[in-house]
Structure 1
Amino acid sequence: MKKLVVALITLLGVTGLLLAFHGRSKNEVSLSGMTSDAIILTDFETGEVLAEKKSDKKIQIASLTKLMTALCVIESTANFNDTVILSEENLNRLAMEGMAVSGFSANDAVTVNDLLYGMMLPSGADAAEALAYYVSGSQDDFVMLMNNKAKELGLTKTHFSNVVGYDNKGNYSTAQDLMTLLTFALQSPLFKEIFMTQQKISQPTIFCPEGVLLESTLIKSGEHLGFDGGNILGGKTGYTNKAGLCLASMAEIQGRWYLLVNCHADGSPTTEPAHLIEAKEIYQRLAAKEGV
C-alpha cells in the first residue's frame, strides 16, 4: 500500500511538472544577445515558463548528466554514511582523460554523502563512477536505472549512456527535459542542500584526516554569484567540446525562487564563464521585470 501511495504521489507530481512546462510560455524575459543555444527559465513554485530558446532541441549535456546520477543515488540509498573505496585504476584513467575529479585520494574510504558532494560541487567523475558501482554494481546497470527514471519523469527526448557526461552518441537531453528533472530532484531535501552548497569539508578519511575541501565549480570560476536584484543560490555546471558551457541554476529574486537551464554557451573552462555570465544577465533582466 505504501509503495502504491508513493507511486501515485510521484505520478501526480510528474504530471504537474509536464503540464506546467508544456503550457504556454510568456517569453517575459528577453534572451537577445545570449550565446547559449538552448535556454529555459521557470518560476520554481508555479513551474511557469518565463522564457525559452530551443528548449526542446536534443543536445549534449556534459556534466549536467550528474543531476540524474545524483537523483538516482539519493533515491536508491538507505544509509548515506556507508563508505566506498575509490579505485586507483579509475582515478588514473580519469586523470589521463583530463576529467574533473573530486580531490579524494585513491584507495580512500569515502562516505556516500561526501561522494555526492564530490560529484556535484567539483564535478568529480571519480565520485560519480564510485557511486554508480555502489548502487548497482556496474555503470551499465546504473545507467539502466537512470534511463528508467527518465522514462518515469516523462523525459521523452533524454537518454543516458554514462554517469559522468561523456560526449557519447547515446547521452543527450533537452533544456526542457533538464528543467523537469531539476524541478523534480529539488523536491529531495538532500539534493536541494547539495545543489545550494558552495563549499564543504568532507568527513575525515584514512588518507585525509582533516577532510577534503569540496568547492563548487560555480565559485571556482571567479565570477560573483550576485546580480542587480538578486543572487544565484546554487547550481551545477558542465563542459565538453560538443556540449559547450552548460549550467543549471537557481536564483532568488524578491523572495521567489527561479530556475534556469542554459546550455551550449560559447567558451571553455579556460575562458570567461559565459554560461554563468549569461545566467546572471537573464536573472537580472527578470529582476528588472519584477520591479526590483
Structure 2
Amino acid sequence: MKSSRLISILLLLQTRGRMTAAQLAEELEVSVRTVYRDVEALGAAGVPLYGDAGHAGGYRLLDGYRTRLTGLTTDEAEALFLAGVPGPAAQLGLGSVLATAQLKVRAALPAELRGHADRISGRFHLDAPGWYADADETPYLPAVADAVWHSRVLHVRYRRWREPTDVERRLEPYGLVLKAGRWYVVAGPGPRTFRVDQILELTASDEEFTRPDDFELAAYWAAYQRDFHDRLRQGEALVRLAPGVRPDGPMAVAVRDNGRTDEEGWTLVTVPIESVDHAHGEFLRLGADIEVLRPVALRERIAATVRELMARYG
C-alpha cells in the first residue's frame, strides 16, 4: 500500500541518511518512477525532504527531523515487543539499554497499539536454552560483542576438543550468533566459528580490521549448519519401526522422505547416522519398537546389549 511505502521511505532515510532513488527502489521492490512519485507526495505533505543531483547525490531529510512511530500496524507493534530477548541482552551487557529502548518505543506508540504491546509482553516469554543444560558461563561475551561492534582484533586462549586442547588464536570477530542458548563468535581469517564459553583468556587490542564487504552473517551461519550436519551424519542404517511409532529429529525426516510400509505394517526406512556408537544409544531409546537390519555391526551391537540386559534382569 502507498501509505505504508511512504512511511518506509521516511524510516529508511531517517535511519540510513542519504539514499538515491535507485537504492530506495531496490529496498522497497518498486520502480524508480514510483519512488519519484512517492517523494513528491511526501514533499506535498510537508515533509522536509531534499534531493541532491550528481554522483554523490540522493534524497535526505532535513537535519534533526524525526518521525514518530505512529505508522506501526498492530501486528508490527506486537512483533516488536515479542522480539525482545532480555536474557541474551543482559548477557551482552545491554539489559538496561533494551529496557529503556522498549520504554521509549512504548511511549511513542498510540494508545491502542500500546495496549497490544503490553498484552504481548505479558503473555509471551522467550527462554532459549534447553531444559537439561545449565547456562554456559560466558564472562568474555561483552568484550567479544564490543570487539564485533568496533571491528577490533582479539587475542584469545581457546579450548577446543582435539589435541592440543588449549591454543592461542588471533580473531577478527565478524559477528555473534545465539544458538539454543549458546553463544558463538564467527571470526576471520577464514571465517571460522568459536564457542564463546570456551574462551579461557581474552586480550582486546586497538588493532582494527576490515570486515569483508561480501560477508553476511545469516548466510554464513545457514551454510555452516548445513555443513555441520553433512559432516556429522556420514553413515546410514536400515531400520524397521513398529506401527504407531512417531519418531522425531532426523529419523522423522527420513520417514517422511523414504519410509515405506512392509507387509506386517512396520515402517522400513533408511536413517542417517553419525556412528555405530552414537546410533546404538539413540536406537535403544525406542526399545522393542525398532529393529535394525543393517549395518550388521550395529545390529550385532544392539543384540549383544539386549542379551546383557536379559541376563541382568533374568
Confirm or deny a common fold (TM above 0.5).
no
TM-score category of the 2 structures, normalised to the smaller one:
under 0.3
**Which structure has greater helix proportion?**
2
Of structures 1 and 2, the one with the larger relative CO (CA 8 A, separation 6+) is 1
- Whichever of the two has the greater Rg, that structure is 2
Q: TM-score, normalised by structure 2?
A: 0.23
Q: TM-score, normalised by structure 1?
A: 0.24
